[in-house]
Amino acid sequence: MLKFFVSTSLVLLASTVTGLAAPTPPGLEFLYSLNCTLGEIFTTGVGPYGEVRVIPITGGYFEGPKMKGDVLNLGADWNYLDNHGTTHPDTRYSLRTDDGENIYIKTAGSAQSDGLTHLRGIYETGSEKYFWLNYVTAVGILRSGAASNVLIDMWYLTSPPNGTVAVRE
Ligand SMILES: *[C@@H]1O[C@H](CO)[C@@H](O)[C@H](O)[C@H]1NC(C)=O
Ligand SMILES: *[C@@H]1O[C@H](CO)[C@@H](O)[C@H](O)[C@H]1NC(C)=O
């Protein structure tokens, strides 16, 4: 019974995929480049999910077409080192724009085999001017700098024009 159900579902799935033209991808809008300074790393050791290396975020600046300002000395990366030797940032830190608004940012992601680290970012702010940041889906690339500072470029997704819709024939 279960086997019948599974194979029927697979047939339906296959026919759906066959009839589907490649969808139009969403766009990416540049948010800013950020250069932040890092404090002295310490480790909390190897816990159940890997080794957590705590990397303080101690300052810096960011600049983009819609926002620029400072990285506050208030945040850290609780960076996971997994059992494949891959690092996974897990950060919480704070931005202050040049017009005095405070923005909280969380990022997470994974190092890639090319040496860059891919990030997803979430922003929170009560600022009216920057409230739109609460609704973006942000992605970033961490270009590793020195041990004392890192460079991060951030973008957010923009909707594709009306494109293809999956039609089951
Ligand atoms: C980033 O900031 C550091 C100082 O904190 C500076 O030495 C370095 O040149 C900056 N990097 C870039 C690419 O601007
Ligand atoms: C997509 O198509 C619908 C229906 O034709 C229209 O109402 C809507 O404005 C379109 N959206 C975009 C982003 O083009």
pLDDT computed for residue 138 by the predictor: 98
pTM of the model: 0.83
pLDDT computed for residue 112 by the predictor: 96
Residues 81-132 pLDDT 10s: 999 999 999 999 999 999 999 999 999 999 999 999 999 999 999 999 999 9
Q: Where are the beta strands (DSSP E) in the chain?
A: 27-38, 42-47, 50-63, 68-71, 76-81, 87-88, 90-97, 102-111, 117-124, 138-143, 149-158
Q: pLDDT averaged over the chain?
A: 88
Closest CA to 87 of 153, 142, 32, 156: 142
pLDDT computed for residue 20 by the predictor: 65
Ligand 1, CB within 6 Å, residue ranges: 35, 37, 149, 151
Residues 3-12 pLDDT 10s: 444 444 444 4
User: What percentage of the chain reaches a pLDDT higher than 90?
Assistant: 75
Closest CA to 57 of 115, 106, 130: 106
Mutate to test the pocket of ligand 1, among 32, 33, 35 (most ligand atoms within 8 A of CB): 35
Tell me, using a 6 A CB cutoff, whether residue 25 lines ligand 2: no
| Class of CATH domain 21-163 | mainly beta
42 token code pair: 């310490």
163 pLDDT higher than 90: no
**Residue 132 amino acid letter:** W
Task: Supply the residue whose CA is at minimum distance from atom 1 of ligand 2.
Answer: 162
Domain coordinates of the chain in residue numbers? 21-163
